Structure 1
Amino acid sequence: MGQSDLAALCAILQDDETMYAYEGALSDDEAQAWLDRQMERYARDGFGLWAVVLKETGAMIGQCGLTYQDADGVRVVEVGYLFRRSFWHRGYATEAARVCRDYAFDQVGVDTVYSIIRDTNIPSQKVALRNGMKPEGSFVKRYRDVDMPHIVYAVSRAVRDGVY
C-alpha cells in the first residue's frame, strides 16, 4: 500500500461495522497513521499489511499481511486481514491469509505463524481455523482505552506441511 491507496483504505477503516473489533471507525488522522505504519513496516521488516486487489478491476478490497505483534509479552509474526464489508463471506480473507501464512513460512522463515483475534470476531476466527490455525491461549489487549479479550491462534510449519 502507498499514499495513493488512502481513499480505498479509508473505505475500510472508516466504516463502523467493519471496524467493530477496534471499537469503531478511525478518524482521518488515525487512518493516515495506519497507512504510515504499514510503509514503516515495509522499510524496517520487509513486510506489513499489503493491499488486496481484485484481479479483474485492480480495485482495493482489503488488506492482508504480516506484522510483528505482541502476544501477551511474546513477539510473534501475525497474519492479519481486514476487508471492505461488501467483500465479506466470499473467501477473499481465507485466500489472502493462506498466501500470507505460506509467505511467512517460505520467505520470512518463521516456524509458527499467529493470528490474534478479538474474542467477539467470529468470522476472523473462522478464517484462522480454515487456514489450519488452532487456539493456543488468550489475553486481554488494551486499545483505545478499552480492555479487549483476544484469542491467540497459531499454526506451525510442520502442521502446514502435514508432518504432524
Structure 2
Amino acid sequence: MVIVETPRLVLRELTSNDVGALSGILGDPAVMEFSTNGPCTEDDTRKFIDWCLESYREHGFGQWGIADRSSGAIIGFCGLSQVDLNGVQEVEVAYRLARAAWNQGLASEAAAAALAYGFSQCHFDSVIAIIANRHVVSARVAEKVGMKIDTYTKYRDWDVGIYRKHLEADLRIS
C-alpha cells in the first residue's frame, strides 16, 4: 500500500517480496555504520520486515519502503515507529538509504514526507529522531526537515542526540 508520494519517491508498506532488495542495503556496513543493530543478514531483514508488518497492523504506521518513483526499485526505508526512550514512549522517524542514493537530498525528502504523514494522519504532537553524536549527515537531515536538538543521552549504549519536531501551531487540532 502506498503511504505517500513525493516528487522523486514513493513511501509504501514493505512486503516479504522486499527482503532481497532491502537485505542488500541493510547488509552494507557503510549504510549500517550508525545503526545500533549493525549490518543485517537476510534473516535479520526478514525479521525487520515482519516487525514492520506488525507495526502497520497494530499502530497504522511503521517503517516504510522507499521506492524510486521512476523505476519502482527499493532504495531504503523511512518511517515512523514506537520507541522506548529512557522509559518514555515516543514516536521516532528513522531512515536508511542505499549508498547509491546518498547525497541527493532523498533522505530529507523521505523524512519530510514521513513527518507530514505523522502529524496530519496520525495526529502526533511531536516526533523524535535518535542520532549518534558522530553521525553529522543524519543530524543535517533532521535539521533540514525542521527538527531541533532536544537533549543528549545514551541509547543502547550509544551517545546520541535526540532531535524533536513538534506539530506546528497552525496544524494543531482544536
Q: Which runs of 5+ in 1 are unaligned?
A: none
Q: Is the 8 A contact 2:78 2:110 kept in 1?
A: yes
Q: Is the 8 A contact 1:71 1:116 kept in 2?
A: no
Q: Is the 8 A contact 2:19 2:42 kept in 1?
A: no
Quote how far apart the aligned CAs of 1:30 are: 1.6
TM-score calculated relative to the size of structure 1: 0.90
Residue among 25, 28, 34 paired with 1:12? 25
TM-score calculated relative to the size of structure 2: 0.85
SS of the equivalent of 1:108 reads coil
Q: Is the 8 A contact 1:71 1:152 kept in 2?
A: no
1:11 to 1:160, Cα distance in 2 relative to 1, 3 A: farther
RMSD between superposed Cα atoms in Å? 1.4
Q: Is the 8 A contact 1:116 1:151 kept in 2?
A: yes
Q: Which position in structure 2 is the counterpart of 1:157?
A: 167
Residue among 31, 34, 55 paired with 1:21? 34
Q: Following the alignment from structure 1 to structure 2, what is the Cα–Cα distance between the partners of residues 159 and 109?
A: 13
Aligned-pair identity (%): 34
Q: Which position in structure 2 is the counterpart of 1:108?
A: 122
Tell me the matched-pair count. Answer: 157
Q: Which runs of at least 4 in structure 1 moved beyond 4 Å after TM superposition?
A: none
Q: Following the alignment from structure 2 to structure 1, what is the Cα–Cα distance between the partners of residues 58 and 146?
A: 28
SS of the equivalent of 2:121 reads helix
Q: Following the alignment from structure 2 to structure 1, what is the Cα–Cα distance between the partners of residues 30 and 88?
A: 30
Q: Which runs of 5+ in 2 are unaligned?
A: 1-13
Higher helix share: 1
Quote how far apart the aligned CAs of 1:115 are: 0.8
Q: Which position in structure 2 is the counterpart of 1:47?
A: 61
Q: 1:51-104 CA deviation, whole Å, 9 max, x = no partner?
A: 111111100111111101122221111111110011011011100100111111
